[in-house]
A and B are shown apart, each in its own frame.
Chain A
C-alpha cells in the first residue's frame, strides 16, 4: 500500500511565523500535491510537483511556497503565517500523470494560526 506521511497531525502557530509542513511518500511516485480543505470550499490545490525541483502553482498559491529536493519529499512553506491560513492541509501523491493515476492522501495536518 502507498504510504503518504505528513510530519504533524496538529500544529498551532502564531501570526507571522514561518511554517514548514513536511510530506514523505514511500512508493516512488512522480507527482506530489498540496491541498487545503475548508468547510464549504472543498479541496483546493495550492501547489504540485511532477519531478524533483519542479513545481507548478495550483489554484491558490498566494502566501505559500514549496520545495521538492528529493523525489519522496514535498514541503509546503508558509512564509509568514496568517489567520486565514488556518485550515486542514493535505498532501497527496500519484504514480504518474493524474489522468490515469489516482491520488493517495496523507493523514492531513490541521494548522491553527493564532
Chain B
C-alpha cells in the first residue's frame, strides 16, 4: 500500500513568518509531487508541482524534493492570513494505474 504521510499538525505561525510543511512517501518509484491548498468548505487547488530533486520556487512558495530521503516539503515565506488553509501533499507513480495518493493534509493558521 503506497502511503503519503504529513505531519499531523495543526501548524500555527505569525504573519510574516516562514511556514514549513513536510511530507514523506513510501513508494520509491514516485515520479511526481504536488501540493494542493484547500480552504475550508472549498475544493483543493493546485499550488505547486515538482518532478526533480532540489528546490522549485514560485513567488512566496518553494517546493523542495529529496527522492533519496523520500520527502517533499513546502515552504511559504512571508506568510499571510490568506494562506490559512489545509495543505495536501499528493504523490504519483509512473505507469500502472497512475493514481495520485494524497496525504491527509496539514492545517495551517497564520495569525495576524
Interface residues of A (CB under 8 A from B): 31, 40-43, 45, 48, 50, 56, 58, 90, 97-100, 102-108
Asked if A105 and B45 sit within 8 Å, CB to CB, the answer is yes
For the complex of A and B, list the 3 residue pairs with the smallest distance between their C-beta atoms, beginning with the closest: A42-B104, A105-B43, A43-B102
A56 to B98 Cα, complex, angstroms:
11
Q: Is B46 within 8 A of A103, CB to CB?
A: yes
- B32 at the A/B interface (Cβ < 8 Å)? yes
Interface residues of B (CB under 8 A from A): 31-32, 34, 42-46, 49, 51, 88, 90, 92-95, 97-100, 102-105
| A99 in contact with B44 (CB, 8 Å) | no
Contact yes or no, B42 A100, CB < 8 A: no
The contact of B46 among A58, A102, A107, A108, by CB within 8 Å, is A102
Task: Assess A100 versus B32: contact at CB under 8 Å? Given A42-B102, A48-B99.
Answer: yes
Q: Which residue of A lies closest to B31 (CB)?
A: A99
Tell me the nearest residue of chain A to B100, going by C-beta. Answer: A98
Instruction: Tell me whether A45 and B99 are in contact in the complex, defined as CB-CB below 8 angstroms, given that A99-B94, A100-B31 are known contacts.
Output: yes
The distance from the CB of B51 to the nearest CB of chain A, in whole angstroms, is 7
Assess the B100–A103 pair: CB atoms within 8 A: yes
Chain A residue with Cβ nearest B32 = A99
| Minimum CB distance partner of A4 in chain B | B43
User: Known contacts A42-B104, A43-B102, A98-B100; can you find 14 more A-B pairs with CB under 8 A?
Assistant: A40-B104, A42-B105, A45-B100, A48-B97, A56-B97, A97-B94, A98-B99, A99-B92, A102-B34, A103-B34, A103-B46, A105-B43, A105-B44, A105-B45
Max count, chain B CB within 10 A of own CB: residue among A40, A56, A99, A100: A99
Closest B residue, CB atoms, query A91: B43
Q: A105-B43, A105-B45, A108-B43 are in contact. Are A98 and B32 (CB under 8 A)?
A: yes
Q: Chain A: which residue is nearest B35 at the CB level?
A: A102
